[in-house]
């Protein structure tokens, strides 16, 4: 089983949804990511160049989400997974995109996906 690097509860504001107000007003979206990789090379050298740089990936996710205008959480999740798999060290990725308070009486709704390198 591969090692995991995670980004938990990354909060971004974006246009996401199908309703007219969602197309005009940015809303909070929570993003969680698990990057499956082998951390041993980085642990051996203690060098960021040998690691999956979660700070870089988080910045890329923020840029993607904040500049997007997707209708579906599934689309945003898929694009985030594609972005994460651009790092050749990432073997697979699990992504969860959640819209807090999107439904009355629910804490949040969203989508979870898992993608592997082809």
Q: Are 13 and 69 in contact (CB under 8 A)?
A: no
Give the total number of structural domains in the chain: 1
**CATH number of the domain to which 58 belongs:** 3.30.1130.10
Say what the pTM is: 0.94
Question: Could you give the strand order of the β-sheet that contains 3-14, starting from the edge strand earlier in sequence?
Answer: 3-14, 27-37, 92-100, 108-116
Which candidate in 99, 102, 108, 112 is catalytic?
A: 99
Per-residue confidence band for 9, with pLDDT thresholds at 50, 70 and 90: very high
Per-residue confidence band for 1, with pLDDT thresholds at 50, 70 and 90: low
Q: Which domain holds residue 17?
A: 3-116
CA-closest candidate to residue 91, choices 115, 55, 65: 115
Angle at 54 between CA 50 and CA 59, to 5 degrees: 130
User: Average model confidence (pLDDT) for the chain?
Assistant: 95
What confidence tens digit (pLDDT) does each residue in 50-87 have? 999 999 999 999 999 999 999 999 999 999 999 999 99
User: 99 an active-site residue?
Assistant: yes
Per-residue confidence band for 103, with pLDDT thresholds at 50, 70 and 90: confident
């Amino acid at each position: 089983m591969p090692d995991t690097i995670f980004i938990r509860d990354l909060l971004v504001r974006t246009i996401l949804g199908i309703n007219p107000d969602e197309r005009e007003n940015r809303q909070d979206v929570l993003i969680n990511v698990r990057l499956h990789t082998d951390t041993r090379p980085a642990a051996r050298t203690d060098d960021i160049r040998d690691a999956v740089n979660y700070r870089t990936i988080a910045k890329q996710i923020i840029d993607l989400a904040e500049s997007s205008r997707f209708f579906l959480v599934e689309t945003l999740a898929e694009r985030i997974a594609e972005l994460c798999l651009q790092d050749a060290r990432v073997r697979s990725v699990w992504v969860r995109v959640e819209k807090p308070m999107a439904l009355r009486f629910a804490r949040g709704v969203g989508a979870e996906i898992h993608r592997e390198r082809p």
